Amino acid sequence: MKAAVQNHHARMQRVLDHIDRHLDDDLDLDALSGVAAYSKYHFHRQFTATFGLSVHRYVQLARMKRASFRLGYADAESVTDIAMDAGYDAPDAFARAFRQRCGQSPSSFRRYPDWGSWLMAFGPLDNARRKLMQIIFTDDDVTIREVPPTPPVAIMEHRGDRATLGDTIQRFIAWRKAASLSPETSPTFNVFRSERCPAVAADYSMDICVGTDQPIAADDRQMKAGVIPGGRCAVLRYPGNTNNLEPAALYLYREWLPASGEEARDFPIYCQRRLSFLPELSVPEIIVELFLPLK
């Protein structure tokens, strides 16, 4: 069974690699099912079941992501050429799709890219690619640090079914933008006050925080002021952006903590997400660190 799963993953990885190398080609079901060596009558269902995206949606997002790079770093290329290469017949159709996906027009993104929104916009694509990753943590991935208290943070509390978390995140992003708190300069934290999937869905609880020295208005019904306390923490750096840190948290609690002889402190596990830029292209990547407070 394990060998069969590995074979399936290898065939699907070939498809992803082929898409990356042939974004300008006709990536239809006939071509891609042939790369995977699966029947075209079943391939699209197998692809969707594996990655959580249809083949068409995956290719569309991959082309849009490439277009965003070209907008940001190929000033000599016209928006029309970029739109055509992304599979759109007209610049206005591309502009509508780009704004819907990234929250900015192509021309606005070219001048002042909002990398925080960009990372979220292509999260589904990144998450799909990560489906084939088998991340194995070891003790070498964990460091113990004396972590200073955070600067003041604005906190938006999510209480209730995780299915509604997306709405809370969108309100948080809108508030942060209105306050001019860029993810490039203002740290973002998630404090996990419950399990990812509690026995009762309504018991899910998480705080979304952003660093700010701006006072929170007393009548602000969305945000409250606070701070994340400092102290000794076990810190696990997660490889890449993800909306599911449960495997990392389980490793810390189930394997690392019992073997370490340490005891957890009375503060929830939390993470920090921050932007980092690759020096050769200034392309952003997100760095996620998970903090388990220790006594």
For the record, the structure tokens of 107 come out as 């021309």
Q: How many helices (H) and strands (E) does the chain have?
A: 12, 8
How far is Cα 174 from Cα 266, in angstroms, rounded to an integer?
32
- Structure letter (DSSP) for residue 151: P
The two beta strands, 231-238 and 270-278, are unpaired
For the record, the structure tokens of 235 come out as 């810190």
**What is the CATH class of 2-130?**
mainly alpha
How far is Cα 82 from Cα 273, in angstroms, rounded to an integer?
31
How far is Cα 259 from Cα 254, in angstroms, rounded to an integer?
9
For the chain, give the number of residues: 295
pTM of the model: 0.66
Q: Which residue has tokens 């197998």?
A: 46
Residue 115 near residue 276, CB atoms below 8 Å: no
How far is Cα 193 from Cα 191, in angstroms, rounded to an integer?
6
116, 138, 152, 153: which is closest to 237 by C-alpha?
A: 138
Q: What does the pLDDT read at residue 235?
A: 97
Q: What does the pLDDT read at residue 242?
A: 65
Domain segments of the chain as ranges? 2-130, 139-293
Q: What's domain 139-293's architecture?
A: Alpha-Beta Barrel (3.20)
Return the H-helix or E-strand segment holding 289.
strand 283-293
CB atoms inside a 10 Å sphere around CB 261: 6
Q: Which residue has tokens 């602000």?
A: 220
Would you give per-residue pLDDT tens digits along the chain (295 residues)? 567 777 888 888 899 989 988 888 889 889 999 999 999 888 999 999 988 899 999 999 999 988 988 887 767 788 888 999 888 888 899 999 999 998 889 988 888 777 767 877 887 887 787 777 666 788 889 999 999 998 899 999 999 998 888 888 888 888 888 888 877 778 899 999 998 888 898 999 999 999 998 898 888 889 999 999 999 999 998 766 566 788 889 899 999 999 999 999 999 999 998 766 554 444 456 678 999 999 9
> Within a 13 Å sphere around the CA of 118, how many CA atoms are in the beta-carbon half?
26
How far is Cα 182 from Cα 246, in angstroms, rounded to an integer?
27
